[in-house]
Each structure stands twice: as C-alpha cells, then as structure tokens.
Amino acid sequence: MSVTPSYLQDRWQSGTGAGTALVNPVSSATLAHASSAGLDLGTALQHARLRGGPALRALSFAQRGDLLDALAKAIYSVRDELLEVSMANTGVTRSDAKFDIDGGTATLSSYAALGRELGSAMFLTDGAAEQLGRSPRFAGRHIRVPLRGVAVHINAFNFPIWGLAEKLACAFLAGMPVLCKPATATALPTARAAKAMTDSGLLPAGSFSLLVGSVGDLLDHLGAQDVIAFTGSADTGAKIRSHRAVVERSVRVNIEADSLNAVVVGPDVQPGSACYELFLRELVREITQKSGQKCTATRRVLLPAALVGPVSDALRERLLPEYLPKTPTDATARMGALATPSQATDVLQRARELATHCDVVVGALPAEPTTLFPPCVLLAKNSKTAALHSLEVFGPMVTLLPYDGSVVQAAELVALGEGTLVTTVYSDDLEFTTQCVEELAPWTGRLLLGSARIAEFSTGPGLVLPNMAHGGPGRAGGGLELGGVRGLSLYMQTCAVQGARPVLDRLFPAP
C-alpha cells in the first residue's frame, strides 16, 4: 500500500519506509501509510520563508481574503469525497463529518470577509498616534506587521479539516506562510483537502506545506521569526515549549490543550423550563457529537442537588438507546466511533479511573476497549475530589457534580479544573449570572450565558466561532486563536514607531 505523500517545496513527496498505518477505527482495515522519513524539513522551511512569505506579504488584506475565499471553494468542491474519507479514517458519522468540513470552510470564508473589510492595507495599525513629549511634533504609533518566518501548525486528530482551515485562515490573512502537520492517525482527510488546494493553482509558491507522518526534526530548524500553533494534549504542549530550539530562539508558541470544560446550572432552573430544556439539549449534543472528542466538549456539570435525579433520568431517556454508537456507514447512526484504537484504550482506562470516585447513573462502561464506546454519565460521590477536576476522558462521558447552588461554591469547583476553553452558565436569574461572570471569567477563555432569552438562537458551548476568541488559561494552554482580527496577532510583530508627527501621518494615513 502506498505512502500518503507530504507537500513540501511546492511538490508532493513521499517519505521512505513503511511508516505508520492509517486505519479505519471500526474495522481496523489499513487505508494507507504515512511516513516523513528522509524528507528535508529544514530546506522545506527555508523555501517557505524565502518564497511563500514575500508572496503573501505582497498582497493586501483584501487580496489575501480573496485567496481564502477561493480556497474555501476549492475544499468545498471535494466535499462529498471528504465526507467518505473522514467517515472511513476518523470513524465519524456523516453528520459529524459535515460539522468538521463545513466548519472549516465557513471559517475560511469568515476571514475572507474580514480581509475585505481591512481593505488595501498590508499591515495593521493599532490605535491612534500619541504625543510623546512637550511638542506634538514628536509622536508614536503602534503597528503590527507579518513575521518573516513560517507558521507551523501541529493539529489534533479530532478535526482534520477544521483544524487545518482555522489556523491557516489567520496565518494567511496576516501574511505568513503555513506548514500544516496534521495528527498522523487521521491525516487522510487533511491530505485530501490539501490536494484540492494545491490542484486549484491558487496558492502562491511556497505559501503552503503539508507534513504527513512524524514531526521528525522539524522543530530543530525553527527560528525567532517562526511560530508554532499547537492543538493537543498538555503533555505534548509542554514538550514543544521546552524544546531546545524553541527556548533558545524564543520561537513564539500558542497552545490549545485539553480542558475539563464546565457547565453551571443555576438554582433557579426548574425541570420543564425553557432554560432547563436548552441545558439538556446542548448537553446531549456535547456528549455525543464526534463521540465527545471535542476540545470544547462539556466534561463537568455542576447541578443543584435537587436536579441530580431529574437530570439523570432525562439523560438516560435521551441518550439510550438512540445514541448508542454504530458503524458510521449505518444510516441510523447518531453517534460514531472513537477516532483511533489507541483512543479506545485510553478512554476506557481513564473512564475506569474516574468511575472509582463516582456512581454510573447512565449507561455502562464496556468490559474491553472498543472504538464503539457508549455514552456514559457519572455522578460524583464527592464533588471536590481532585481527580474529577484533573482527569479528562476524551470521549462520550460527563460527570455530574452536585453543589449547593451558590456562586461561591460553583466558582470554587470550576477553578479546581485550573482553566477551561469554555464554561457555560444556565440561569434566568440576572444577579446569579452577573456574579458568575465576575467569578468564572478569569478561569475560562469563553463564557456562554444560556437562558430562556437565547434558547432559540444558542449555538451551544461546543461550537467554535471564528469571530470569538478560542483558547483558555492554565490547563487549557494559555493560548488564543481566532476572535476575528485578534487571531492575526499571533503571526504579527507589534512595533512602536516613533518620529515626527508629519512623517507618521504620511506613513500611516487615517483610513
């Protein structure tokens, strides 16, 4: 079986040796192999710096936006094929494959629109000119300009298309070439999307590279103008941050790591209310969408004690048997498989460890590792047990944590997770919600306030929107991606320019 090639120096190249088998997680059938052995990654990075960087920086924001829009269309043109490849290689249902693909192309289109708004400029100004001394003639301006290196994107296994697209959108619009390194086990959808992009003839020379297989010595070749944007485990993120070349050359690093995202249900929420139904609907989606394999999926649910019984009963009724996992090709499947056999082992091991501190109130843990892992809900015996706030099961499982209904205890429990990507508060009580914002915001990158007022419109905590910041403090990695124009900052250098006010006005005219 052939080795899936990488795209380096504007051509497709295959690594040597058999490499790693890419399999169907349900049937275990080998679909392809991936190898990066023998590829010259140092030369590939230098090619991107010398060719891709100048080509992108020569374009205005509007022109870069047009490029992103065209790339979105190129990927969408092979959508049907991507759906099949995603279902085969990642075990997702057709609906979840659409979620990944359409989320990726929508993000590209969103940043294309932002490029058109930014117009003919090639870099960003940040704020107005400021007088720096006694005379208004001596002034300063802050500007943001593209870095002169390569944006190295190391992506997770769970979103092979969206992960590619969201990072590329920000880097390209900022004016920086990209080397995308997808997770090896689920690299086939990314490789097919990359093929659509390269076949389109739209990419400026050197602007895009794809590395399929091991990261090899890639990080050894990075320099002070390069950027790493990583999505994955906290352990791997720590290894990247501590890599010798990264430390010695001060390579800029953005980490989006694992996160025990939380939900807080207010004491005012009653069964049958609009807010209660919104909470249940969104929780079921977060447990089952992509089999719970989302960095934004809910892991901890803080409930007033009176709601534990009703919520457990409601989840049992809504999850079973409708969401029992099935082969993705089954037309009745509403939840697919875990993405890799190794994930099956890891999820079961962590679930068993977590269950020692809980009662299983919905579903049951399988006896042996399986990628067809059923949805499961645990009820904590003691909500303050440390393991409940440190051990993440990256699958279709949540833990119910009874609390006394106070903001003080809710904040205490959320904080035990040491940082989340997203926390959700469900309440129609404005005073409770206000206090939650004050106490929870420091611990999370995004705070969703669910209430009856938005029950009809809420996109839920699990959906990452391109105009909202994505990232979180502490355990969540301390990074920030997306957020509209904020997402460009990772790939740009802020420079304070000081000089004569007339010179600055000429260099940086008002829009």
Catalytic residue among 295, 358, 376, 436: 295
* Residues 50/67/82/333 CA torsion (nearest 10 deg): 120
Angle, to 10 degrees, between the axis of helix 94-118 and the axis of helix 162-174?
Answer: 10
What's 82's DSSP letter? H
CB-hemisphere CA count at 13 Å for 246?
Answer: 17
Please provide the DSSP assignment of 435-489 as one string: HHHHHHGGGBS-EEEE-GGGTTT---TTPPPTTSEE--SGGG-S--EESGGGGGG
Distance CA 196, CA 138 (A): 51
Q: Which two tokens stand for residue 284?
A: 């079921």
Q: Which two tokens stand for residue 344?
A: 């099956």
Distance CA 104, CA 87 (A): 16
- CA triplet 384, 386, 389: central angle to 5 degrees? 90
Residue 423: strand pairing partners: 262, 447
Task: Give yes or no: 495 in active site.
Answer: no
With H, G, I as helix, E, B as strand and everything else as coil, classify residue 240: helix
What's 136's DSSP letter? T
Peptide bond just before 321 cis, omega within 30 deg = yes
| Sign of the torsion angle spanned by Cα atoms 478, 481, 485, 488 | positive
Angle, to 10 degrees, between the axis of helix 274-288 and the axis of helix 308-319?
Answer: 50
Task: Give yes or no: 295 in active site.
Answer: yes
Task: Choose among 74, 149, 84, 70: nearest CA to 116.
Answer: 70
Question: Which residue do the tokens 């920000």 mark?
Answer: 170
Backbone φ, ψ for residue 81 (5° rounding) = -65, -40
Q: Which two tokens stand for residue 117?
A: 């708004």
Question: Which residue do the tokens 């611990």 mark?
Answer: 443
Distant-in-sequence, close-in-space partners of 67: CB < 8 Å, separation ≥ 6 = 59, 112, 172, 202, 204
Catalytic residue among 166, 170, 180, 256: 256
Catalytic machinery residues: 256, 295
